[in-house]
Structure 1
Amino acid sequence: MRKSSWALSAAAAGAAVAVLAVPTITTDRSHGDTAVTAVTVNNGKPILLGPQKAMTFPLVVEARDDSGIRSVDPVGVWGPNYGVLKVGPMRCTASSATESVCRGTVTVDPVEKQIFNDEAGTWFVDLQVKANDGDRYVAKTAGGFSLKRAAKLSGSGVPAEAKAGQKITAQGWLARAFWSDNRFHGYKDGVAYLQFRPEGSHRWTTVAKAVSTGSGTVKATVTVAGPGDFQWYAPGDKWTGDAVSAEMPVAGGR
């Protein structure tokens, strides 16, 4: 059953494990000098989740207090439309008498219906940090991260050989993960750029822009400048990851 009710919050808050309650895991308030100095999810990189494969990514919380850090508990992550994911136990290691680094992991499995299409976007870390002297730091947005629907992009239509000045029409198919049915489907109104890299060069140059149709098709007609490689590149957006097609080489025609 989809997580769409505030009743889930109360149930999660009462669980024995460290589970997030939406939108906050505790009614306690911060007091004392306990502070969070950094929160890092997935090493600072966006999480690009496909339609079928579960992903586990790291969560690191750095905190300090003049008496030292006892624990980060409870802790969870939450996102758009009541999205909620469990965080595994946080293990804290003291880096000094006053500072600790606490590490845990988050697992998300689209097949198990732990996430839905409209929950892609910006997510937040909700936590309570407890110090040895009883002080605590509480925040429902202690850190943020991007959890996006993975995309893929294919390319076709580039001939194996073409003379300089010849017009060609490159095509592609832009798709993104649908967590609802665990498949890739064409992505409508996505932006993709056709890029070209001359033979012997390492630099890609954008030569055309296309917006995908309802089925995810992109198409562009360009003039061949000489031998090299074409590729499609889609930068993605707040909800969808980036994607690049396989290279499509073209040799100089005779």
Structure 2
Amino acid sequence: MRAASTGALLAGALVLSGSALTATAPAAYAAEARVEIKKVSVNGGKAIVFGTSRTESFTISVTASDDSGINPNGHRFFGIDREVGDDYWTYHGTPTCTASSATTSTCKLTVRLESDIDLPRNTLAGPWNVDVQLTAKDGDYYGETYGTHPVQRRSTLSVNASPEPVTKGKTITVTGKLARANWDRYIYAGYTNQSVRLQFRPAGSNTYTTVKTLKSDSTGNLKTTVTAASDGYWRWNFAGTSTTPAVVAAGDYVDVR
């Protein structure tokens, strides 16, 4: 099954800088067409991360120039898309262009998911193509897949350290769960077989130290024991993967007596 979705469009007011986008190498084409892409920023340089709600949004911002200037009413198209096997998804639309000089404009497209705009399939998490098409006032044209940008499934991580309080030298049991958004079912489900660090911060300190590393089980659960030595905070720390962002649980304080 091939599925596609188009985001609703609103003009973005925020100027974005930086980008996690990986450029392919459209320079030769751009030079021949005389429309030059100066800068591309997707989601302010951060990965696009979708949870399970249809209230997400992101912005694509492109600065381009031509000796005749960019046509604010000409053919304009920005989009991101990915295809894996039979699964395909795209978010795209027409950007709004604002000139900063006679030759240079910044064009922006803000995509907002709404109640009738679905999330992609789980299989599509990863690098998405970033497509840019712009026309100059004299008819020069740029139309390329400029590069790729990461789209990830939002992650959650919980922690509980007990008993509280605990006698010094006794055992503390630390549990938790690593989960991530399941776009196929609109729920959060356990992220299995992932390395997660157990960390400790003594009371009065600002620094966490890794005590041990575990792998989440078949349901995303984490469980281990440590010896109570001093007051402090216990937390789980997940470094993330190409399809799932890093996440850190809030520290759980244990009083050692």
Range class of TM-score, shorter chain: 0.7 to 0.9
Q: In the alignment, is the contact (CA less than 8 A) between 1:171 and 1:217 conserved in 2?
A: yes
Q: In the alignment, is the contact (CA less than 8 A) between 1:52 and 1:111 conserved in 2?
A: no
**2:55 match:** 54
TM normalised by structure 2 equals: 0.81
In structure 2, what is the Cα distance between the partners aligned to 1:170 and 1:136?
59
SS at match of 1:148: strand
Mark the runs of 5 or more structure 2 residues left unpaired by the alignment: 10-28
Counterpart residue identity of residue 147, structure 1: V
**2:129 match:** 124
| Displacement after TM superposition at 1:74 (Å) | 2.4
2:141 to 119, 128, 136: 136
In structure 2, what is the Cα distance between the partners aligned to 1:143 and 1:110?
29
| Displacement after TM superposition at 1:112 (Å) | 4.4
Residues paired across the two proteins, number: 230
Question: What's the CA shift string for 1:155-211, capped at 9, x where partnerless?
Answer: 124322234444322111111111111111111112211111111111111111111
In structure 2, what is the Cα distance between the partners aligned to 1:125 and 1:109?
21
| Displacement after TM superposition at 1:111 (Å) | 7.5
SS at match of 2:107: strand
Counterpart residue identity of residue 243, structure 1: V
RMSD: 2.4
2:101 to 96, 102, 119: 96
**2:43 match:** 42
| Displacement after TM superposition at 1:248 (Å) | 0.8
In structure 2, what is the Cα distance between the partners aligned to 1:120 and 1:110?
21
Is 1:177 the counterpart of 2:178? The answer is: no
Counterpart residue identity of residue 213, structure 1: D
In structure 2, what is the Cα distance between the partners aligned to 1:63 and 1:130?
10
| Displacement after TM superposition at 1:220 (Å) | 2.5
Counterpart residue identity of residue 188, structure 2: F
Percent identical pairs in the alignment equals 36
Counterpart residue identity of residue 215, structure 1: T
In structure 2, what is the Cα distance between the partners aligned to 1:110 and 1:212?
33
SS at match of 2:76: strand
In structure 2, what is the Cα distance between the partners aligned to 1:108 and 1:213?
33
**1:160 match:** 164
In structure 2, what is the Cα distance between the partners aligned to 1:139 and 1:124?
10
Counterpart residue identity of residue 183, structure 1: I
SS at match of 2:123: helix
1:236-251, aligned counterparts within 5 Å? 236-251=240-255
Over 3 Å counting, the alpha-carbon distance change for 1:102 and 1:187 in structure 2 is same
TM normalised by structure 1 equals: 0.82
Mark the runs of 5 or more structure 1 residues left unpaired by the alignment: 18-28
Counterpart residue identity of residue 137, structure 1: Y
1:227 to 222, 226, 231: 231
| Displacement after TM superposition at 1:216 (Å) | 0.6
| Displacement after TM superposition at 1:117 (Å) | 0.4
Q: In the alignment, is the contact (CA less than 8 A) between 2:229 and 2:256 conserved in 1?
A: no
Counterpart residue identity of residue 254, structure 2: V
Which deviates further from its counterpart, 234-243 or 153-162? 153-162
Over 3 Å counting, the alpha-carbon distance change for 1:128 and 1:112 in structure 2 is closer
Which deviates further from its counterpart, 41-50 or 65-74? 65-74
